[in-house]
A and B are shown apart, each in its own frame.
Chain A
Amino acid sequence: ETVLTQSPGTLSLSPGERATLSCRASQSVTSNYLAWYQQKPGQAPRVLIYGASTRATGIPDRFSGSGSGTDFTLTISRLEPEDFAVYYCQQYGSSPRTFGQGTKVEIK
């Protein structure tokens, strides 16, 4: 099983600041099949990035994904008020599909 470890657990930032979220895999993620999701309280997750770096339809360009192999990053270039949420990475290169434990981006 590919274990995904996200860091930090909580990121305290102000609107307008840059957010950098990390996702490290216990083994190489096949074909960089890694996605990032945003989840707000009481809502289902929403995909932001798939294939490590491709933005999903309708996702603003302030969200970007990078990385390969075992190290991946989600960057939010300038935080908007609606970006404060929990973010999860997920790998789909092998079974079982696994999620990271999440990073909460909170208002400082």
Chain B
Amino acid sequence: QVQLVESGGDLVKPGGSLRLSCAASGFTFSDPYMSWIRQAPGKGLEWVSYISGGGSAIYYADSVRGRFTISRDNAKNTLYLQMNSLRAEDTAVYYCARGHYDLRLWGQGTLVTVSS
């Protein structure tokens, strides 16, 4: 079954850190770019980051550059997002998705809440 399953979302205090994971199955994970997209409560979609299949090409949105780090472990079929120096405005559902053009496969999302 082709699917993406995110995990790791939690309630964290401002300034704290969190690592999100996205487990892939049903396709050759090492081939495609992978992306993280987030959606603040009641708001629209924001592309956060993407990474190439081999990990050599990486993009970050200005809003997270220097605080978030995307990575992947192709042997474990898993995508990661390390989030440091978290702010209230990072509160969102975080989705992983396959690709970096149009996104045809999404996970169900994991909620990150940044609050004291």
User: For the side of the interface on B, what is the size category?
Assistant: 10 to 19
Q: Which of B61, B95, B101 has the most CB of A within 10 A?
A: B101
Quick check: B109 and A44 within 8 Å, CB to CB?
A: yes
Contact (A96, B47) CB under 8 Å given A44-B107, A44-B108? yes
Set of chain A residues within 8 Å of B46, measured between Cβ atoms: 99
Per the CB 8 Å criterion, the residue count for chain A at the interface is 23
**8 Å CB contact of B102 from A43, A92, A95, A98:** A92
Q: Is B88 part of the contact surface with A, judged by Cβ < 8 Å?
A: no
Contact (A99, B95) CB under 8 Å given A35-B102, A92-B100? no
Which A residues fall within an 8 A CB radius of B? 33, 35, 37, 43-47, 50-51, 56-57, 88, 90, 92, 95-102
